[in-house]
A and B are shown apart, each in its own frame.
Chain A
């Protein structure tokens, strides 16, 4: 009976999806009501559903068991990860309230797809079998392909969705191929069975094909995470998709796929550590390098944020090298800080609209924020704090996140990559400071008139700012949670 108890939030959201779908279809084609636009209605309903599912997930006790014929797992990590994902989605929802009404994304199915994506991500954190991994990742990716191209009137958006679809389908094919090789050679698909099989196997003869299968799966997971050198899709897709969808891509899936990567690398394939340590090292190195230098040449906000998140993913992978409790805890800590920072910066970019006579236009170019300190000093201050946090300057929360990750890397005597990461951090600091210079030091001849931000997104901006500024007072609050979350990955 615990089968249903552990996926109760997902079942609740699924029932609501069905009801909402029928409600949406019936009401939006009602001629006597004048084919109403259900956008705002759905917005608020989805918010309510997410709040209730958060309460549902929060009031559960963290179980520690395998469900559904060992296909799913429920442990400390999934309990807290579910809460974080639902909270992050509520945050995203609040910050994209105004955007979809303004940009006339009138499909009510958009919100249903968002709910389905939340369900998919909740399932990804719980996956415990190669089949489940494939199906849940495919589920989430399919939803993301549709979300990327949801703005039908924009050619850019269609192109982004197409690129994402082709490359993502290819990556899923790699995942499937790797899983079938692993199944073919071992006869097992369950992650814990595989880990028991591999225990001590490395000393003896191990078939090389198993490593090939494993590498295929690893490549597919790194692709989904947009780590270099499999990052090529992310700047184009982030740029083409409408910006609230970009926010969704940036904020939410990283924690879920990271959890999956942990389970995969540190639990199942821990005995292969001598093989995957070098791959993760190269991926981290390239991610930090490409993320830093790629963002230099950018002139548009969305691509800049895409390269910046590639940089952050390099740091995620950096702490994966040692694989012990403190390093996983530092990665999850960094992930939480990353979600808070990205929510803040997207709350800024999604909702800032400039008014040039007779229509408003969106924030697109990096140089659009020149002279922001004169028109809106508090917004400029908030943006400065968030940018300083992304650069890793104390006493912002971003510094502490990088500190713990570097500590984890230093513990394995990986000094070269730590020094490299630190130097790249300095170089990255340069272009963050250039943005701050644009805000404060430059003066423009025509000051831009800004529309006031939507109330909900300013709430998210404020909350993110509080989180970043004052996290250092009580770091334990978050680090106890991350420590709890990383216990299940102990080998």
Chain B
């Protein structure tokens, strides 16, 4: 490795969490505030490096930029390639932003083993950045799986309720089973092609039968991650039991790994299989949108409501991805980013409530707008963002997805739009039940509005959602060429 390679901002972004991790290792666990400071600084520096990625990104080409290759295992033709294009750049930015928010959120709510908690988060950030930037199938799989370990520990150790162990098990084993089928497909691909490098695989033509089998194996892994019906059961459990920061990262980024996998691997590698299975995906997505929305109406746990609404939103995302035209795919990416911001913000709000009152059951909360007005305003804004109100980013995302789907199939678009109505139903109903009405003072007697730290966590998210909703071209222009080249590869 030459010295100049270290100036590659992608490598800097990847390595900074590791450096922070190592520094955290040697700090004794009793110096809690110093640990938190180091972690926060590491996350901020990583975010700044990823901003450099955006600034220096050349949006007029669809090639992979900031690329670096390392000889990992040359005798078996396996290399470690890094590179980003328009699709992955925003996910990396989202990761680094959400990590800062996660560390800030857990500033005072995590009471024990704070050092290990921060180490888990930094490790998770490292793995996530690598997931979105490696250009090699085997390494994608390795980091895809490695994400499970810190997440398992976070949900199991710092989770909030008694069923956290069961939730951690479910989360781990569901994802593992799906991914192991992908492993077999990966090995067969490696054996047939002789390499796992993405750009080589893109130019290889598999036969249609093989494409179908490989696509199914990859589907089993990504479908659990997204999650699609019927593999979605782990998500509400994991969200309900995870600590607030865990939920933020889970909803914000981990779900996007599945969508990113579809975009980066399934569609370019197996184009005929994608077209073959499009009806299946559309059916499952519509079921996801409608069924998940209807289930949301029945929930009593605040986090589960948002979790099921995540399932519903990701149904839109998969419709967008598999509509295979420019509007659909760009809409799905934008919807993923927006969902990352909106769901994280909603989980943060719920976390704020949980920190104060230590319960997430809906019936205890009512009339909060009277005593927590600032919180109410933020919550209102995020509720509107969740349902896809114009002016917020999810409106743009859903609009583009529906435009893309309309070009394919009108009935599909009709049913998907019903999803928007149902989304409005549960979002507004949730907000109504929590914020308006009379205060239930028989349950709570002490109320406090959001603190300065929480305000400054929620404000950037609000501004970002507004920016994406009002002026999305600044985001869409970066990914334009990459998405166009993706679609061209198909046809």
Query: Which of B113, B153, B176 has most chain A Cβ within 10 Å?
Result: B176
Q: Which of these, A393, A406, A440, contacts B145 with CB under 8 Å? A: A393
B38 to chain A, nearest CB (A): 19
B157 contacts A by Cβ under 8 Å: yes
Q: Is the CB of A475 within 8 A of B181?
A: no
A403 contacts B by Cβ under 8 Å: yes
Q: Which of these, B75, B142, B153, contacts A479 with CB under 8 Å? A: B75
Q: Using A393-B146, A393-B148 as known contacts, list a sample of 13 further A-B pairs with CB atoms less than 8 Å apart, ordered by residue number in A.
A: A373-B113, A393-B149, A394-B141, A395-B142, A410-B184, A415-B184, A418-B184, A423-B177, A429-B173, A433-B173, A441-B157, A475-B73, A476-B75
Q: Is the CB of B157 within 8 A of A411?
A: no
> For the complex, what is the distance from the CA of A373 to the CA of B158, rounded to whole Å?
13
> For the complex, what is the distance from the CA of A419 to the CA of B76, rounded to whole Å?
23
Chain A 360-388, CB-CB to B under 8 Å as 1, else 0, gives 00000000000001000100000000001
B168 contacts A by Cβ under 8 Å: yes
Query: Which of B76, B116, B177, B183 has most chain A Cβ within 10 Å?
Result: B183
How many of chain A's residues have a CB under 8 angstroms from any CB in B?
A: 31
Count the A-B residue pairs with Cβ separation under 8 angstroms: how many?
81
Q: Is the CB of A430 within 8 A of B73?
A: no
Q: Is the CB of B142 within 8 A of A426?
A: no
Q: Is the CB of B142 within 8 A of A440?
A: no
B152 contacts A by Cβ under 8 Å: yes
Given known contacts A426-B176, A426-B177, A476-B73, A394 and B145 CB-to-CB distance under 8 angstroms = yes
Stretch at the interface among B44-52, B88-96, B186-194, B302-310: B186-194
> For the complex, what is the distance from the CA of A475 to the CA of B73, rounded to whole Å?
7
Identify the closest chain A residue to B172 (Cβ): A433
Q: Is the CB of B146 within 8 A of A395?
A: yes
Chain B 146-171, CB-CB to A under 8 Å as 1, else 0, gives 10110011001100000011001100
B230 contacts A by Cβ under 8 Å: no
Q: Is the CB of A406 within 8 A of B149?
A: no
Q: Is the CB of A440 within 8 A of B72?
A: no
Q: Is the CB of B187 within 8 A of A406?
A: yes
Q: Is the CB of B184 within 8 A of A441?
A: no
The 9 closest A-B pairs by CB, nearest first: A394-B142, A422-B180, A410-B187, A394-B145, A407-B187, A426-B177, A441-B156, A394-B146, A475-B73
> For the complex, what is the distance from the CA of A483 to the CA of B76, rounded to whole Å?
11
Q: Is the CB of B180 within 8 A of A425?
A: yes
> For the complex, what is the distance from the CA of A352 to the CA of B176, rounded to whole Å?
31
A sample of 22 cross-chain residue pairs with beta-carbon separation below 8 angstroms, ordered by A number, consists of: A393-B145, A394-B141, A394-B143, A394-B145, A399-B142, A399-B145, A406-B183, A406-B184, A407-B191, A411-B191, A426-B176, A426-B177, A426-B180, A429-B172, A429-B176, A430-B173, A437-B165, A440-B156, A440-B157, A441-B168, A476-B74, A483-B75
Given known contacts A377-B116, A395-B146, A433-B152, A407 and B172 CB-to-CB distance under 8 angstroms = no
A480 contacts B by Cβ under 8 Å: yes
- List chain A residues, Cβ under 8 A from B149: 388, 393
Q: Is the CB of A422 within 8 A of B183?
A: yes
Q: Give residues of chain A (421-475) contacting chain B, Cβ–Cβ below 8 Å.
A: 422-423, 425-426, 429-430, 433, 437, 440-441, 472, 475
Given known contacts A395-B142, A433-B172, A440 and B191 CB-to-CB distance under 8 angstroms = no
> For the complex, what is the distance from the CA of A440 to the CA of B172, rounded to whole Å?
15
- List chain B residues, Cβ under 8 A from A406: 183-184, 187
- List chain B residues, Cβ under 8 A from A429: 172-173, 176
Query: Which of A388, A393, A472 has most chain B Cβ within 10 Å?
Result: A393
> For the complex, what is the distance from the CA of A393 to the CA of B143, rounded to whole Å?
10
- List chain A residues, Cβ under 8 A from B74: 476
B46 to chain A, nearest CB (A): 20
- List chain A residues, Cβ under 8 A from B145: 393-394, 399
> For the complex, what is the distance from the CA of A426 to the CA of B168, rounded to whole Å?
15
Q: Is the CB of B169 within 8 A of A433?
A: yes
- List chain B residues, Cβ under 8 A from A394: 141-143, 145-146
Q: Give residues of chain B (178-228) contacting chain A, Cβ–Cβ below 8 Å.
A: 180-181, 183-184, 187-188, 190-191
> For the complex, what is the distance from the CA of A418 to the CA of B76, rounded to whole Å?
21
- Point out residues on A near B: beta carbons under 8 Å: 373, 377, 388, 393-395, 399, 403, 406-407, 410-411, 415, 418-419, 422-423, 425-426, 429-430, 433, 437, 440-441, 472, 475-476, 479-480, 483
B49 to chain A, nearest CB (A): 22
- List chain B residues, Cβ under 8 A from A479: 73, 75-76
- List chain A residues, Cβ under 8 A from B73: 475-476, 479
Q: Is the CB of A403 within 8 A of B156?
A: no
> For the complex, what is the distance from the CA of A291 to the CA of B116, rounded to whole Å?
33
- List chain A residues, Cβ under 8 A from B188: 410, 415
Identify the closest chain B residue to A400 (Cβ): B142
Given known contacts A393-B145, A393-B149, A476-B75, A403 and B187 CB-to-CB distance under 8 angstroms = yes
> For the complex, what is the distance from the CA of A403 to the CA of B76, rounded to whole Å?
13
> For the complex, what is the distance from the CA of A281 to the CA of B437, rounded to whole Å?
68
A374 to chain B, nearest CB (A): 9
B221 to chain A, nearest CB (A): 12
B149 to chain A, nearest CB (A): 6
Given known contacts A430-B173, A441-B156, A419 and B146 CB-to-CB distance under 8 angstroms = no
- List chain A residues, Cβ under 8 A from B76: 479
Q: Which of these, B143, B168, B176, B191, contacts A437 with CB under 8 Å? A: B168
Q: Is the CB of A423 within 8 A of B180?
A: yes
Q: Give residues of chain B (288-325) contacting chain A, Cβ–Cβ below 8 Å.
A: none
B89 to chain A, nearest CB (A): 24
Q: Which of these, B75, B153, B184, contacts A422 with CB under 8 Å? A: B184
Q: Which of these, A388, A415, A426, A480, contacts B75 with CB under 8 Å? A: A480
Query: Which of A377, A415, A426, A437 has most chain B Cβ within 10 Å?
Result: A426
Q: Is the CB of B187 within 8 A of A419?
A: no
Q: Give residues of chain B (326-347) contacting chain A, Cβ–Cβ below 8 Å.
A: none
B112 to chain A, nearest CB (A): 9
> For the complex, what is the distance from the CA of A421 to the CA of B73, rounded to whole Å?
25
- List chain B residues, Cβ under 8 A from A441: 156-157, 164-165, 168
- List chain A residues, Cβ under 8 A from B113: 373
Q: Is the CB of A430 within 8 A of B184?
A: no
> For the complex, what is the distance from the CA of A425 to the CA of B183, rounded to whole Å?
12
Q: Is the CB of B169 within 8 A of A430?
A: yes
> For the complex, what is the distance from the CA of A418 to the CA of B187, rounded to whole Å?
10
Q: Is the CB of B169 within 8 A of A407?
A: no
- List chain A residues, Cβ under 8 A from B190: 407
- List chain A residues, Cβ under 8 A from B143: 394-395
A460 to chain B, nearest CB (A): 21
A284 to chain B, nearest CB (A): 16
Given known contacts A403-B183, A418-B184, A437 and B156 CB-to-CB distance under 8 angstroms = yes
Q: Is the CB of A422 within 8 A of B169?
A: no
B424 to chain A, nearest CB (A): 40
B482 to chain A, nearest CB (A): 27
Q: Give residues of chain B (58-93) contacting chain A, Cβ–Cβ below 8 Å.
A: 72-76
Identify the closest chain A residue to B169 (Cβ): A433
> For the complex, what is the distance from the CA of A440 to the CA of B117, rounded to whole Å?
13
Identify the closest chain B residue to A410 (Cβ): B187
Identify the closest chain B residue to A483 (Cβ): B75
> For the complex, what is the distance from the CA of A440 to the CA of B169, rounded to whole Å?
13
- List chain B residues, Cβ under 8 A from A388: 149
A427 to chain B, nearest CB (A): 9
Q: Is the CB of B181 within 8 A of A419?
A: yes
Identify the closest chain A residue to B71 (Cβ): A476
Identify the closest chain A residue to B148 (Cβ): A393
- List chain B residues, Cβ under 8 A from A425: 180
> For the complex, what is the distance from the CA of A475 to the CA of B148, rounded to whole Å?
23
Q: Which of these, A373, A399, A426, A437, contacts B173 with CB under 8 Å? A: A426
> For the complex, what is the distance from the CA of A388 to the CA of B75, rounded to whole Å?
27
